[in-house]
Amino acid sequence: MVDHLANTEINSQRIAAVENCFGASGQPLALPGRVLLGEGILTKECRKKPKPRIFFLFNDILVYGSIIINKRKYNSQHIIPLEDVTLETLPDTLQMKNRWMIKTSKKSFVVSAASLTERKEWISHLEECIKHLLLKTGRQPCREHAAPWIPDKATDICMRCTQTKFSTLTRRHHCRKCGFVVCADCSRQRFLMPRLSPKPLRVCNLCYRQLLAEKKKEAEAERRQTEPIRSAIQGYEPSSGDDSDKSDDEKAEQWPADTEFYTSQVSWSSFHS
């Protein structure tokens, strides 16, 4: 179906309509071979509270944004390459049902559908697109994912020291490594995680120690790998370049006879049913 629709006028018109809804704030979405498969409104668990978001599923990307006027105007466009996506079904809570997590290397978050059937359809279509895309590109599924942020209202106290109570004056912070809600004293450190950002990010004290230990371990492993090469270079004595007066037969006698030199990864709506 994707190949059949890739270069059709109706597909081009639908992609153009999505671009127009995002306006100048969005990125161009039309690419050769890209097909818009469906759209729907899902509830996204945000830091402050759950909020409705519009989602568009293409054969290679997932696009979502904030709803200003449904079917007419959206903003805060986010584009997620499907080859970076892993899905995880989650149990219901008192506040939200039909939940699942969209996990990527840069950002992971929880969404919920209006019904169980809608969730099954979303997950089925997403998994099918991801499978075909990975087969096409030859890539392995993503193994490392960013931790989802725990919502602010999930706790009234710091999840690390369990002593500090949050208030209007005592702000909540999120560790970018584990996603926990922590106080300022428990998250004073920053650490460079290139997979998430080119700038050092706030992390809690526990994750900071773990990241430092991992970095030290990696540096030690790298040192061990390069040490034999350095030793060989330091122990190497270059020849003078002058020929010796000894004959080749005399040189050969200096080597023992047994010396070895060489060893032998709104509900779902499908446009085409």
CA atoms within 13 A on the CB side of 130: 22
Do the two domains 3-137 and 149-220 of this chain adopt the same fold? Answer: no
- In this prediction, residue 248 carries a pLDDT of 46
Residue 45 CA to residue 96 CA, distance in Å, equals 9
pTM of the predicted structure, to 2 decimals: 0.75
Q: Which residue carries 């079904």 as its tokens?
A: 89
Domains of the chain, by residue range, sit at: 3-137, 149-220
3-137 sits in which CATH class? mainly beta
Multiple choice CATH, 149-220, 3.40.640.10, 3.30.420.40, 3.30.40.10, 3.50.50.60: 3.30.40.10
The string over 70-79, giving b where at least 16 C-beta atoms fall within 10 Å of a residue's C-beta and e elsewhere, is eeeebeebbe
- In this prediction, residue 267 carries a pLDDT of 40
> From first to last of its 273 residues, what are the pLDDT tens digits of the chain?
566 676 788 999 999 999 999 999 899 999 999 999 999 999 999 988 999 999 999 999 999 999 999 999 999 999 999 999 999 999 998 889 999 999 999 999 999 999 999 999 999 999 999 999 999 888 888 888 999 999 998 999 999 999 999 999 999 999 999 999 999 999 999 999 988 889 999 999 999 999 999 999 988 888 888 776 666 556 555 544 444 444 444 443 443 444 333 233 434 343 333
Copy the structure tokens of residue 156.
């009234």
CB contact set of 111 (below 8 Å; sequence gap of 6+): 42, 43, 44, 45, 53, 55, 99, 100, 101, 102
- In this prediction, residue 142 carries a pLDDT of 81
